[in-house]
Structure 1
Amino acid sequence: MRVRWLDWFFSRIHPQAVNMKNWIRHNKGFLVFLFLFGIFRTAIADWNPIPSGSMRPNLVEGDVVFVNRLAFNLKVPLTNIVLTHLGEPQRGDVVTFFSPKDGTRLIKRVIALPGDTVEMRDEKLLINGHEADYAMLDSAPEPLDHGGSMVAVRLREQMGREQHRIQVLPEANAGRNFAPVVVPADHYMMLGDNRDNSADYRYFGFVPRELLIGRAERVLVSADIKGNWMPRADRFGMQIR
């Protein structure tokens, strides 16, 4: 009985194995392409959709950004194992990384480097005892998840020669202060540009270097996913600052 059962099993599995072998033979070029594409995307360059408004006003929902994975680390593909360092993150870089809290892929701005002492007082940053300069730019409505909107005040934040736009929501209940902290070695402080609507350092702490994915450099394409889904051609190819 056992021999008959095995004969029945192999009579069924053998044609399937032959069919699979033939399929692989006829599609090996496509499979090699998929393999090399996977290596390229996990080790060299990548793209990252922007799903939330935490980087407003510089990045908005519906942007798809180009990420240079070789900006900081060379990693074993599909892992966070760093083979060698290729460059150093700079204050003001917009980077993608894995959240140290839950592994979620995020995009934020590097605010402080290893060894920096950082403090936030009433939304204003102090780094190594120097307060950032702020200049009012304009205001705009900020859409809310449950409908409606509130006023967003947009500012230029400058520390030394590095400057970028941020926005604050004066009416929001947000964490606008934290006591002085020192960024540990091989860690970075990340904040969203939408300061009062961003889960960032204030939520997950410092980010270890090995969790960095790459530097976001340009918007590849963009569509109004919160509205009519029409392309926003004026954002195609836009450099991220």
Structure 2
Amino acid sequence: MTTAAAEPQSNRLLHWLKKEALPLLVMLGLLAAARDSLANHYQVPSGSMQPTLEPGDRVVVDMRAYGLRLPFTSVELLHTGTPQRGEVAVFDSPQDGTRLIKRVAAVGGDRVDLFDGHLSINGQPLAQAGLGEVEDFGRILARLDLAQGGGPDITGLTVPTGKVLMLGDHRGNSADGRYFGLVDASTLYGKATRVYYRRGEGFTWQAL
């Protein structure tokens, strides 16, 4: 039998759930969905992208760059773009599922050669004379770190349509596409756009 004192208490609890808890849960759900579909962040775990990215760097990831997806799924709702050479992207390794951050070195249709860490696309070297260890991707200049050599070479690879080759800027210290193979362009998690925090420097806003 319900007592008269218990009924007001039950009503108060129900009122609190409707008034306070439900809006909070809805807000958290919307924030989570926005983070999964619109923008996110990533902490760089290693030095494979030095000197562009340092271990511990926190970067902004644009989740809309390569397609607007249904939150918490891989279902694409709207195609918004394709990976371009030189962009820095976050993706899951096809080898073991580890989330990685590397540079899009080549896209579908490109013929790739890599010798001593220096990249050539369709027969054209990307490192220009006088620029030092810098590769020119057109809109993007990527500075390399070859202090530990260039890592494994690539000879005469043609990237199939729908695939991308992901490489680290620290060519001799990067477990990248030379080890785990090509990546489906449609599976790239998002485009890294800026470094917003760096150890020793604090908050920053450095474009990639």
Query: TM-score when scaled to structure 1?
Result: 0.74
Whole-angstrom CA distance in 2 between matches of 1:161 and 1:135: 18
Matched, 1:157 2:135: yes
Choose the corresponding residue for 1:40, options 22, 34, 59.
34
- Which residue identity does 1:191 align to in structure 2? L
Q: Distance in 2 between matches of 1:103 and 1:23?
A: 42
- Equivalent runs, 1:92-107 vs 2, <5 Å: 92-107=86-101
Structure 1 residue 168 corresponds to structure 2 residue 146: yes
In 2, Cα distance between the equivalents of 1:204 and 1:28?
Answer: 45
Letter in structure 2 aligned against 1:79: T
Unaligned 5+ runs, structure 1:
1-17, 138-153, 225-231
Report the residue type matching 2:73 in the other structure: T
The residue number in structure 1 matching 2:185 is: 209
Q: 1:223 to 1:161 in 2, by over 3 A?
A: closer
Alpha-carbon offset, residue 132 of structure 1? 2.1
SS of 1:101 mapped into structure 2: coil
Q: Residue 118 of structure 1 corresponds to which residue in structure 2?
A: 112
Distance 1:182 1:223, change over 3 A: same
Q: Which residue of 2 aligns with 1:185?
A: 161
The number of aligned residues is 198
Give the TM-score of the pair, scaled to structure 2: 0.85
Per-residue CA deviation, residues 121-160 of structure 1 (Å, 9 max, x unaligned), is 22221211112225677xxxxxxxxxxxxxxxx7212255
> Are 1:239 and 2:207 matched, yes or no?
yes
- CA offsets per residue over residues 97-126 of structure 1, 9 Å max, x none? 111112211111111011101011222212
Structure 2, gaps ≥5 residues long? 1-10
Aligned CA distance change for structure 1 residues 66 and 120 (closer, same or farther; 3 Å): same
RMSD across aligned C-alpha pairs, in angstroms?
2.5
Q: Is the 8 A contact 2:63 2:189 kept in 1?
A: yes
For 1:182 and 1:204, the matched residues in 2 are separated by: 16
Contact 1:187 1:208 in 2 (8 A): yes
Distance 2:190 2:64 in 1: 7
Report SS of the residue matched to 1:41.
helix
State the AA in 1 paired with 2:92.
Answer: F
1:153-207 per-residue CA deviation (whole Å, 9 max, x = no partner) reads x72122556421111124x6x6331221111111111101111111110111111
Residue in 1 that maps onto 2:103:
109
Give the alignment of 1:20-59 within 5 angstroms: 24-25=17-18, 26-59=20-53
Give me the whole-angstrom Cα distance separating, in 1, the residues matched to 2:75 and 2:27: 24
Code of the residue aligned with 2:166 in structure 1: it is M
Q: Partner residue of 1:14?
A: none
8 A Cα contact 1:136 1:156, kept in partner: no
Distance change (3 Å), C-alpha of 1:21 and 1:221: farther
